[in-house]
Amino acid sequence: MKRIVWLVMALAVVVSACSGGSLVATVDGVKISAGDVEKLIAADLATAPADLYAQLIQTLIIHEVVSNAAEAEFGISITPEEIDEQVVALTAQIEVSGGTLEEAAAQQGLSLDAVPLIVEEDLTEQAIGEALSESQADPSEEEVLAAYNSSLQSLTEVCASHILVPTEEEAQAALDRIEGGEPFEDVAAELGTDGTAEVGGDLGCAPASNYVAEFAIATIEAELQVPTGPVQSQFGFHVILVRERTETAFEDVRGDIVAGLRDQQRTTLLSDWMLAVIGGADVTVEEEYGTWELEPFPTVVPPAL
């Protein structure tokens, strides 16, 4: 359903549905009529919101350009059987939650006729992305390792306590007392200014990424069972004690990281390709329905009030 959701923006301005035969847009010489647009709109809408109408014109424009370019460049042509298979799967998925495909589409202002079009566009884009990425080299070991390091906070669980105070001087004084032999929990209970003071500063165990960046980095770099600080964050100054730390080994997640980098690469290649082919198309939108604009990305802008 992500494409159905993507199609609909905030619906505010309402315009009357136009006669079926009037020209709405032209794409590389191919005409799009009001009827082409209106058959995609839910039957219970007596009038079509301007944003929805413009978005559906945009969808038909992009579908025409991308489908033709995909077949011409890659030989990609989605079959009716492939579309039907996806629609059946989507229908079953929605029915599990107690709804129907028609109801789900209607909630977005769309008719059932819109669903195969959206499914076809999804399948086409997936096939294009795969075709574009086939000739691309796998991520290098340096790239994979860099991605691992950048994800280390989310891959590291820390069991920590802290003492939060307003100033660096107060944090240093707290640290001095602990290093002088006072129990961390007692100092936290006396000086801590947040809710953890009641439990001796105990934050429990959580991924380091749950914390603000400065605190997260400190919990990863700190020596276990050795208080460290002062560490400044947006909340004040911390004295931190990391009791336990569990890191996910690089080899355990290497495959997932490689797959993620490939997905990112595929998404970038597809986005660049689509912007190029759509931007190069000869598109005209009739003024009463909106304007075709390429920046910041190709879109049909609804007519102003």
Q: What are phi and psi of 26, to 5 degrees?
A: -130, 130
Is the pLDDT at 221 greater than 60? The verdict is yes
Beta carbons of 139 and 258 less than 8 angstroms apart: yes
Is the pLDDT at 18 greater than 70? The verdict is no
Going by pLDDT thresholds of 50, 70 and 90, the confidence category of residue 220 is: very high
Q: 116-175, pLDDT tens digit by residue?
A: 999 999 999 999 999 999 888 889 999 999 999 989 999 999 999 999 999 999 999 999
Contacts of 211 (CB under 8 A, 6+ apart): 219
Enter the CATH code of domain 2-135+258-301.
1.10.4030
Strand order in the sheet with 236-247: 202-207, 156-165, 236-247, 228-233
Which segments of the chain belong to CATH 1.10.4030? 2-135+258-301
Give the model's pLDDT for residue 17.
36
Is the pLDDT at 3 greater than 70? The verdict is no
In the chain, % of residues over pLDDT 70: 92
- Roughly how many angstroms between the first and final C-alpha of the chain, as a whole number? 31
Which residue, chain included where needed, has tokens 């096939």?
A: 127
SS3 75: coil
Is the pLDDT at 276 greater than 50? The verdict is yes
Beta carbons of 244 and 224 less than 8 angstroms apart: yes
Contacts of 296 (CB under 8 A, 6+ apart): none
* Average pLDDT along the chain: 90
> How many Cβ atoms sit within 10 Å of the Cβ of residue 146?
14
For residues 60 and 54, what is the distance between their CA atoms, to the nearest angstrom?
Answer: 10
Tokens of 298: 């190709």
Is the pLDDT at 1 greater than 80? The verdict is no
Classify residue 116 as left (phi > 0), alpha (psi -120 to 50) or beta: alpha
For residues 292 and 10, what is the distance between their CA atoms, to the nearest angstrom?
Answer: 19
Beta carbons of 125 and 278 less than 8 angstroms apart: no
In this structure, whether the domain defined by 145-248 belongs to CATH 3.10.50.40 is answered with yes
Which segments of the chain belong to CATH 3.10.50.40? 145-248
Is the pLDDT at 212 greater than 80? The verdict is yes
Give the model's pLDDT for residue 136.
85
pTM over 0.75: no
Q: 249-262, pLDDT tens digit by residue?
A: 999 999 999 999 99
Give the model's pLDDT for residue 46.
62
